[in-house]
Amino acid sequence: MNEILGKLSNYNIFNFLFPGAIFSFLADRMEIFSQPDDFAERLIWYYFVGMAISRIGSLLVEPVLRWLSFVRSGEYEKYLQAAEADSKLELMIEVSNTYRTIATTFIVLLFFDFYVGLMSSFGLSPQWQLRIAIALLGLLFLAALSKQSSFVSKRIKRYSERT
């Protein structure tokens, strides 16, 4: 277990594990759902929950914040050029992503509180609530795959144009 934890990058810790732990702790206190009891299961759970929250932040929260002009972002090509010239830019992006993920943690927590209450008032069984959540998670990670593939394609294209 220590070997696995030792291989986690700062990004993984602050954007997946830490937000997943915060969310799970608060969700447990709010009696939305309980955390696993086993330490290893809990770490895997925190990581997965944090990864899902991070993707929600990237795919949903950040575009809304950009639309509201609350945050700004530049063109990806210009970011790649700036990252080559400024070694601190990558760290600054990482910190920005952490703030976005922590903010998203609280938004998702409120959404889940509302979701569980609403689904219960409609009389949906916990099994159907889980099925709906699984379907939404599947869609979330398909969208994340599409976005990541687009980034990879842009980087390959940029590299190809330079050589």
Residues 24, 45 contacting (CB under 8 angstroms): yes
> Is a pLDDT exceeding 70 seen at residue 4?
no
Helices (H), 7-162: 10-12, 18-29, 39-56, 62-67, 76-85, 89-121, 126-162
Among 104, 132, 109, 108, smallest CA distance to 120 is for 132
Q: For residue 85, what pLDDT is reported?
A: 85
Q: For residue 3, what pLDDT is reported?
A: 67
pTM for the full predicted model:
0.85
Residues 104, 57 contacting (CB under 8 angstroms): yes
Model confidence over 33-62: pLDDT tens digits?
888 999 989 999 999 999 999 999 999 999
